[in-house]
Amino acid sequence: MKLILTRDVERLGNAGEVVEVKDGYGRNYLLPKGVAIKWTKGAQKQIDLISEARRKRIIGDLDAAHALREKLEVESVTVSKIADDNGRLFGSVSAADIAEAVNEQLGATIDRRAITIASPIKSIGEHEVSARLHDDVAATIKVSVLREKTKKKR
């Protein structure tokens, strides 16, 4: 079965690529999840649109990606979340929270989908996450999670 991927699929391909998969995998997993669409001759325009969107998300210039990696690995970002007295967060720190903190504190734009959190961040302290800046460039981001200051009710 010939399909067009609408999202990146690990060990299969990137968004916008045409892939050949077994019928059952395509019909029972990829198509229902919305990860792929059926390939047709008229779908070439769709492939072009997905590829263009992907190019806009990824930092195009390799030198800019290296410079951003150096900046991210030197500095750390701070995220504030509500936590209990033991330092356990109510919820967790998401990739979107980290991307927003990088944008606000360092002035760099990173797509939240490029950030990979190995294990959920559910406690106050120092944590490390990885970010894919370019096909050939990955960075490690140091994240400091602090307790959010809240007003006590009386």
Domains of the chain plus CATH, in order, are 2-57 (3.40.5.10), 62-147 (3.10.430.100)
pLDDT in tens, 17-44: 889 999 999 999 999 999 998 988 788 7
Name the nearest CA neighbour of 107 among 77, 145, 134: 77
pLDDT in tens, 105-132: 988 888 898 899 999 999 999 999 999 8
The residues pairing with 147 across neighbouring beta strands, listed in sequence order, are 81
Whole-prediction pTM value?
A: 0.63
Q: Where are the alpha helices (DSSP H) in 107-152?
A: none
